[in-house]
Amino acid sequence: MPRENKDRRPSLRLKAVEIDTYRENVAYLHRNCSLYRAEGFQALSKIELHHDGRRILAVLNVVDDENIVGPGEIGLAEQAFAQFGQPEGAAVEVDHASPPASMEAVRRKMAGDRLSHEDFIGIARDIRENRYSKVEIAAFLVAVSQTGLDRDEILHLTRAMLETGERLEWDEPLVADKHCIGGIPGNRTSMLIVPIVAAHGMLIPKTSSRAITSPAGTADTMEVLARVELSPEELHEIVRRHRGCLAWGGTARLAPVDDILISVERPLGLDSPEQMVASILSKKLAAGSTHLLLDIPVGPTAKVRGMDQALSLRKRFEYVGDRLGLHLEAVLTDGRQPVGRGIGPVLEARDVMQVLEQDPDAPEDLRQKALHLAGRIIEFDPDVRGGQGYSIARDILESGRALARMNDIIDAQGRNPDPPAPGRLTFEITADKPGYVAAIDNYRMARIARLAGAPLSKGAGVDLLRKVGDRVEAGEPLYRVHAEVPAEYRFAREFATRDSGYRLSPEPVEPFIPMDF
């Protein structure tokens, strides 16, 4: 190697730089490195590193601190270093890089072309291998969101994301799953559906996310009660024993391309329906699900605002699901307000346990919605007659079997010995006139709960005291806000006082409708 290098460009010593650049390969060169000046590299240039037959693409950052990299070194951020797989000190050659081969397809998409399955496979592979910079990923996402994807392109993209990741195998003919497209605070039906469906004997290995922009994800709420960060082995063992789990899905490497796309999509505020379909279905199929019930809330402050939009989204899910062998049913649900009473991890966990414990104060809308959805999943069971699912689900809940199963799952995952309480700093927002609650703004309620500290402060959040259809008199409380920190209390109070988020009507309003309204 040293001999061969004599008549080549000077090589640089490889160094690991302990910076996590989240699946973008970043390389660090010192500003006084001769190669940096000579090659006309600039910060942001894409470069290629070679050593011992291996090569890797990376985006360049220029360093002025010799403690990070010295003039004779080339640094690689954590994941790039791991992917390159060469030892520190290796003599690495560095060159300008060409864009990844599949960028040619991205350029065709920008020009308005339809892409083939092979195109999407090429793109997904190059993204998985970190050959795309964030900027190139953004170009792909914007091109897709602007030109749109027809339903076959959504199918190709879903399949490509699936084929470039790992896939769980459960060795069972029926693996049930449930997913909500999001946007409704307090919608913690999974924590009821899993124990009910598992108690019926069906396999439902549910993994969930933490909140990113919402006041609580299912993983945050379950964490009030039990440990959710499980190793793959623990997860399998719990599912084998109890037929279900409620774990955090962040550790699995399922559909990694989807994770990378989301990491760029989110800061851009891109949320195209095409991308949503491909993202959800690739993740569910990778998790080994065979049957999926999809919850699509519809309402003026939900993600899906109207019936036309809801039906067109449902058809796209069905089209792709059918062609990938996933039994999929999508139900449209009432999204005019948050579900249940609590918003925020502790308050939502309280609602869930009240339903399971058949507390007379349990929120009826959460109970009804969970029973309807669980019933539809139970009807995936070939031995259950159509229309019987709901009453089976109700029997399981009322017999206490759902509660028992939930306690088994909590104990198996690791019960929290000291669950947190609702935040002790509270205020109430009252009605300024009499009327019937016509709508409760989902965005605004989520925002108030986050300002109050959720999900960071587990006990922070909003407790809804009136729901759609309820009659209120002027001066009666609409909701109570809980916080743990004085500053957050003030932020939430200031925001909630400006606009309560409630819309009142002089006429009576139809209360919550569980499904397919």
Residue 169 burial (10 A CB sphere; 0-12, 13-18, 19+): exposed
Closer CB to a second copy, 149 or 202, in the complex: 149
3-state DSSP call for residue 444? helix
Which of 69, 85, 83 lies closest to 35 in space, CA to CA?
Answer: 69
Torsional class of 387: left (φ above 0), alpha (ψ -120 to 50), beta (otherwise): left
Give the pairing type, strands 461-464 and 342-343: antiparallel
Closer CB to a second copy, 274 or 379, in the complex: 274
Closer CB to a second copy, 92 or 374, in the complex: 92
3-state DSSP call for residue 487? helix
Rounded least distance, CB 401 to a second copy, Å: 35
Closer CB to a second copy, 137 or 406, in the complex: 137
Closer CB to a second copy, 140 or 436, in the complex: 140
3-state DSSP call for residue 108? helix
**CA separation, residue 170 to residues 178, 224, 269, 279, 288 (Å):** 16, 28, 35, 21, 7
Rounded least distance, CB 493 to a second copy, Å: 14
Catalytic residue at 271?
Answer: yes
- Which residues fall within 8 angstroms of residue 66, CB to CB, at 6 or more apart? 30
Closer CB to a second copy, 269 or 387, in the complex: 269
Rounded least distance, CB 219 to a second copy, Å: 11
Rounded least distance, CB 159 to a second copy, Å: 24
Question: Cis bond leading into 10, ω under 30°?
Answer: no
d(CA 98, CA 416): 52
Rounded least distance, CB 157 to a second copy, Å: 17
- Which residues fall within 8 angstroms of residue 486, CB to CB, at 6 or more apart? 425
3-state DSSP call for residue 333? strand
Which residues contribute to the site for a second copy (CB under 8 A)? Answer: 7-9, 17-22, 24, 28, 31, 38-40, 42-46, 59, 61-65, 67-68, 77-78, 99, 103, 107, 110-112, 133-139, 141-143, 145-147, 210-212, 263-264, 267-270, 455-456, 485-487
The single residue of 271, 411, 432, 499 carrying the catalytic annotation is 271
Take residue 382 and report the two structure tokens written for it: 């070939």
Catalogue the active-site residues: 271
